[in-house]
């Protein structure tokens, strides 16, 4: 097992995972220091997810065309440059632009890293061990993100959460160049028109959700964004029906289990990352937490994920995936709905227990739905299906953060906004439980891999 190869290919995922969570802790400080409105802060968080989600499938096709190692290093370089621009941003507008660029970089290196990992370890038994180590690194970076962010913002200021990406990115590129073999591409064409329609569709939805509460839902820019999204959806459907070079393998969605796995993936990411965005703002604005204390108070929402990944690996061979998913979604839903009664008098221990239960459930949900999707798609379509699920989950994160931002913008105070957000999040988890029970009720599941655990 080559430590250098594992480190090289985990570097990108570590940066992306840390950026997902540390930004939640730094959000309130950034909003204060850069004099940003809530909608601008939402753009700074969601802009990253927007380009990440919109370009993920395109980046996978580009890696196939020009070579995974080349695209991986492009993504790492872009991410590092964008991180420096984020740290040096003099205003919120520059930070938003840099975050959009960060998302583009992440979209390039994320799908390429897994492809390179599989190619770098051709022996199946060694690869299984490597995937376990790689997954542990990625899950740990996600779990510790809030604490790392709180420490860095408190000690060095908010730019430090972006500067930390520079040594990681540079080391990752150097190690990749030295230890990862060059991969050749092929001549398959990119589905550029379809991907362009996806980008316009997601951008339009994001703009409407983020700017609607501030500009008014009937404002011309909001109506224009909704119209552009609707037109893009129509053009996408028409294009996909006429071409053989599709953005997604739509025929796979005819299977109820595959469609169900993607539906619960969308709902899980929307609920989990929407609540992560909200809790970071709530504990600082409503409860007066410092960045360090906020990082510690958010920690229960992420810290149990790696341990739950291990639990899933041990019970997955004895418990059917559908019921396991349904129960986990119900636990997360019940915990979130319990916080819909949040008030200024609510003690932190109640919040911490509910967040901890959500973390335990989330660590089971993520690999379980990935395994259900792989089973539904079959081994012949597993790589494509994995790309579809990851893209769909990022779209869920995008919509979830934007929707929670809209709720917070429309409520009179942070506590009321948090309570309504937990109500919305709980409803999403309950919907996921129903879909899991009805559409992904598999009799047996014995094919979970360590890689599935890294998809949270």
167 Cβ partners below 8 Å, 6+ apart? Answer: none
Polymer length in residues for the chain: 456
Query: If DSSP states are collapsed to H, E and C, what string results for 144-190?
Result: HHHHHHHHHHHHHCCCHHHHCHHHHHHHHHHHHHHHCCCCCCCCCCC
Distance CA(213)–CA(203), nearest Å, equals 16
232 Cβ contact partners less than 8 Å away, ≥ 6 residues apart: 197, 198, 200, 201, 204
Burial class, 424, CB count within 10 angstroms (exposed 0-12 / middle 13-18 / buried 19+): buried
Instruction: Write down the pLDDT at residue 432.
Output: 93
pLDDT of residue 116: 78
Spans of all domains in the chain:
1-188, 192-246, 250-456
**pLDDT score for 255:** 73
Other C-beta atoms within 10 Å of 251: how many? 10
Q: What is the CATH number of domain 1-188?
A: 1.20.1250.20
Pick the CATH number of 250-456 from 1.20.1250.20, 3.10.450.50, 3.90.1150.10, 1.20.1440.80: 1.20.1250.20
Query: How far apart (Å, rounded) are the C-alpha atoms in residues 186 and 199?
Result: 25
Which CA distances in Å does 45 have to 102, 192, 197, 402?
Answer: 11, 26, 22, 9
**pLDDT for residue 357:** 95
- Given a contact cutoff of 8 angstroms between Cβ atoms, the answer to whether 268 and 393 are in contact is yes
Q: What residues have CB less than 8 Å from 356, skipping those under 6 apart?
A: 300, 301, 303, 304
Is the Cβ–Cβ distance between 195 and 57 less than 8 Å?
A: yes
From CA 333, how far away is CA 354, in angstroms rounded? Answer: 10
pLDDT score of 3: 75
pLDDT of 188 reads: 64
Return per-residue pLDDT of the chain as tens, 456 residues: 477 877 787 788 788 877 777 787 888 899 999 999 999 999 998 889 889 888 887 877 787 778 888 888 899 999 999 999 999 999 999 999 999 999 999 888 887 777 777 677 776 666 656 666 766 677 777 777 888 888 888 889 999 999 989 998 898 889 888 887 776 666 666 777 888 888 899 899 999 989 988 888 889 999 999 999 999 999 888 877 787 777 776 777 777 777 888 899 899 999 999 999 999 999 999 999 888 898 889 989 988 888 888 888 778 777 777 888 899 999 999 999 999 999 999 999 999 999 999 999 998 888 888 777 767 766 555 556 667 777 888 889 989 999 999 999 899 899 999 999 999 999 999 999 999 888 765 444 443 444 444 445
SS3 state of residue 42: helix
User: Comparing C-alpha atoms, which of 156, 117, 136 is closest to residue 5?
Assistant: 117
Euclidean distance between CA atoms 446 and 257, whole angstroms: 16
| Residue 318 pLDDT | 79
What local confidence, expressed as pLDDT, does residue 1 receive?
46
* Contact predicate 363/312, CB 8 Å: yes
Q: Could you check whether 1-188 and 250-456 share the same CATH topology?
A: yes
Q: What is d(CA 229, CA 441) in angstroms, rounded to the nearest whole number? A: 34
Structural contact between residues 359 and 302, judged by C-beta atoms closer than 8 angstroms: yes
Residue 338, number of CB atoms within 10 A of its CB: 16
Q: Which residue has the tokens 């559409």?
A: 439
Name which of 448, 199, 124, 173 is nearest 317 in CA terms. 448
Q: What is the DSSP letter of 286?
A: T
- Reported as half-sphere exposure (CB side, CA atoms, 13 A), residue 185 has a value of 19
């Amino acid at each position: 097992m080559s430590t250098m190869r594992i480190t090289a290919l985990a570097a990108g995922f570590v940066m992306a995972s840390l950026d997902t969570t540390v930004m939640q802790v730094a959000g309130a400080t950034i909003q204060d220091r850069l004099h940003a409105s809530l909608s601008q802060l939402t753009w700074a968080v969601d802009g990253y997810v927007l380009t990440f989600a919109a370009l993920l499938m395109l980046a996978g096709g580009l890696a196939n065309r020009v070579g995974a190692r080349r695209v991986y290093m492009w993504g790492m370089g872009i991410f590092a440059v964008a991180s420096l621009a984020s740290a040096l941003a003099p205003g919120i507008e520059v930070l938003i632009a840099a975050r959009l660029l960060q998302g583009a970089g992440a979209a390039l290196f994320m799908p390429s890293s897994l492809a390179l990992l599989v190619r770098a370890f051709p022996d199946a038994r060694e690869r299984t061990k490597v995937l376990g180590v790689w997954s542990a690194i990625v899950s740990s970076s996600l779990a510790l993100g809030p604490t790392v962010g709180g420490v860095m913002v408190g000690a060095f200021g908010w730019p430090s959460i972006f500067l930390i990406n520079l040594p990681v990115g540079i080391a990752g590129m150097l190690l990749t160049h030295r230890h990862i073999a060059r991969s050749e591409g092929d001549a398959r064409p990119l589905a550029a028109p379809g991907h362009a329609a996806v980008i316009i569709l997601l951008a339009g939805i994001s703009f409407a959700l983020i700017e609607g509460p501030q500009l008014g839902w009937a404002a011309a820019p909001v109506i224009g964004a909704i119209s552009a999204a609707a037109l893009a959806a129509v053009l996408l459907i028409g294009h996909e029906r006429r071409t053989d070079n599709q953005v997604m393998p739509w025929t796979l969605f005819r299977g109820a289990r595959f469609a169900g796995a993607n539906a619960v993936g969308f709902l899980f990411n929307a609920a989990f990352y929407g609540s992560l965005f909200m809790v970071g703002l709530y504990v600082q604005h409503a409860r007066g937490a410092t960045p360090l204390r906020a990082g510690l108070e958010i920690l229960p929402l992420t810290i149990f994920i790696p341990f739950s990944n291990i639990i899933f690996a041990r019970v997955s061979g004895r418990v059917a995936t559908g019921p396991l998913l349904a129960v986990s979604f119900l636990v997360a839903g019940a915990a979130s709905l319990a916080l819909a009664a949040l008030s200024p008098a609510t003690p932190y221990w109640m919040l911490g227990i509910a967040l901890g239960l959500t973390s335990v459930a989330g660590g089971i949900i993520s690999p379980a739905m990935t395994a259900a999707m792989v089973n539904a798609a079959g081994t012949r379509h597993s790589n494509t299906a994995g790309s579809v699920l990851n893209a769909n989950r990022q779209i869920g994160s995008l919509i979830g953060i934007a929707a929670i931002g809209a709720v917070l913008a429309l409520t009179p105070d942070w506590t009321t906004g948090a309570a309504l957000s937990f109500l919305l999040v709980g409803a999403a988890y309950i919907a996921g439980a129903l879909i899991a029970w009805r559409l992904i009720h598999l009799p047996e599941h014995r094919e979970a891999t360590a890689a599935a655990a890294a998809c949270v």
